[in-house]
Amino acid sequence: MHTQDVALWTEELTRVFAAAPAQRLDALCAWLGRVRPVDHFVLFVYEGNHRPLALFDTFPAQRRKVYVDDYQSGPYLLDPIYLACARGQAPGLWRLRQLAPDHFYLGEYYLTYYQQTGLAEEVAFFVDLGEGTRGVLSLMRANHRVAFSEDDLAWLGCARAAVEQVVVDAWALHQAGPPRPAQDLDFTIRAAFDQFGAHCLTQREQEIVQLLLRGHSSASVAEVLGISPGTVKIHRKHLYAKLAINSQSELLGLFIRDLAGPANPGRHV
């Protein structure tokens, strides 16, 4: 990094922290976008059984429906970022593909939902907010751009401390307001996923269904559960028969219909 670059970097970073607390996320994302091209930013907070909270985003209204509203209605349960938060992902800057299971980009979640976002790549800063809560600031490039290079990530990685401080401050500002209510829908969505197929599947078959929905191959399911790939294939054949389906795409369709069932009329993906 040249001396001139360092001087400009420092000057612009000073402006970020000089902004009023309520405008600091805007200032931060504008600065990051000048450091390296980024098309969209979104800050989700993942807290317990709550649905992800969109604390900040830069989406135009027509795109926000896909990126935020549809995502919050259930697909987040299949999202590698959500799952990484659930297992306590270490703070830092991560590519989505570092977090995704082996068949994520061939899986039905990606093909049916994620592809609608039209992204070339997504990278994300994971920030520990305490008490098991994670803030995730995602930086997204639309598919007319190339993916983030290693040089891009090196530059953005230098901003980690600033990003973490701004995200922590934004969460503190949010918490200073009225407490976030626990909504029945938050728990209904999670329960629908946990209990999907419980009426006819064994516990092992339910575990396999959840991993398949999240983009794991049979080999990856076998590794996660500590069983042989052949056993997974047998379980898969049996659970497909019990659910009266023939493919993973039908499995996802059944899950989505289950989410939008009578217990939650009007919800959609």
State the residue for tokens 């007319």.
Answer: 144
The answer to whether residue 7 sits within a structural domain is: yes
pLDDT(268) > 50:
no
* CA atoms of 54 and 44, how far apart (whole Å): 5
Read off the CATH number of the domain in which 203 is found.
1.10.10.10
Asked if residue 202 and residue 169 are part of one domain, the reply reads no
The pLDDT, as a whole number, for residue 16 is: 94
Proportion of the chain in helix, strand, coil states, percent, rounded to 5: 55, 15, 30
180: in domain: no
Q: What is the pLDDT of residue 261?
A: 60
The reply to whether 192 falls in a domain is no
**Band of pLDDT at residue 180, cut at 50, 70 and 90:** confident
The residue count for the chain: 269
- Whether residues 25 and 96 share a domain: the answer is yes
Average pLDDT for the chain: 89
Does the pLDDT value for residue 9 go beyond 70?
Answer: yes
Residue 151 forms part of a structural domain = yes
- 18 and 147 belong to one structural domain: yes
Segment (H or E) for 134: strand 133-142
Of the CA atoms within 13 Å of residue 135, those in its CB half-sphere come to 24
For residue 127 the two structure tokens come to 């920030």
131: left (phi over 0), alpha (psi -120 to 50) or beta: left
Q: Are 207 and 225 in contact (CB under 8 A)?
A: yes
Residue 264 belongs to some domain of the structure: no
Indicate if 8 and 117 belong to the same structural domain: yes
Rounded to the nearest angstrom, the gap between the alpha carbon of residue 78 and the centroid of all alpha carbons in its chain is 8
Q: Within 13 Å of residue 199, how many CA atoms lie on the same side as its CB?
A: 5
The domain that contains 10 carries what CATH number?
A: 3.30.450.80
Helix (H) or strand (E) holding 9: helix 3-18
- Residue 150 shares a structural domain with residue 30: yes
Tokens 């994520």 appear where? 104
- Of 142, 175, 208, the residue at which a domain comes to its end is 175
- Number of folded domains in the chain? 2
Same domain for 211 and 138: no
**118, exposed or middle or buried, with CB in 10 Å at 0-12, 13-18, 19+?**
middle
Pair (225, 104) in one structural domain? no
Residues 6+ apart with CB under 8 A from 73: 189, 259, 267, 268, 269
- What is the distance between the alpha carbons of residues 252 and 35, in angstroms, rounded to a whole number? 39
Examine the domain organization and report whether 67 and 112 are in the same domain.
Answer: yes
The neighbouring-strand residues paired with 138 are 42, 124
Three-class SS state of 2: coil
Question: Are 62 and 96 contained in the same domain?
Answer: yes
214 domain residue, yes or no: yes
What whole-number distance in Å separates Cα of residue 226 and Cα of residue 25?
43
Predicted confidence band at 48 (pLDDT cuts at 50, 70, 90)? confident
Same domain, 38 and 164: yes
268: in domain: no
Residue 253 is predicted with a pLDDT of: 84
Residue 262's pLDDT band, with cuts at 50, 70 and 90, is: very low
pLDDT of the residue at 244: 95
Q: Are strands 133-142 and 92-95 parallel, antiparallel or unpaired?
A: unpaired
Which tens digits make up the pLDDT trace of 92-103? 999 999 999 998
**92 and 218 within one domain:** no
pLDDT of residue 191: 84
Question: Is 59 a member of any domain?
Answer: yes
Q: Mean pLDDT throughout 131-142?
A: 96
Expressed as residue numbers, the domain containing 153 is 3-175
Residues 138 and 201 grouped into a single domain: no
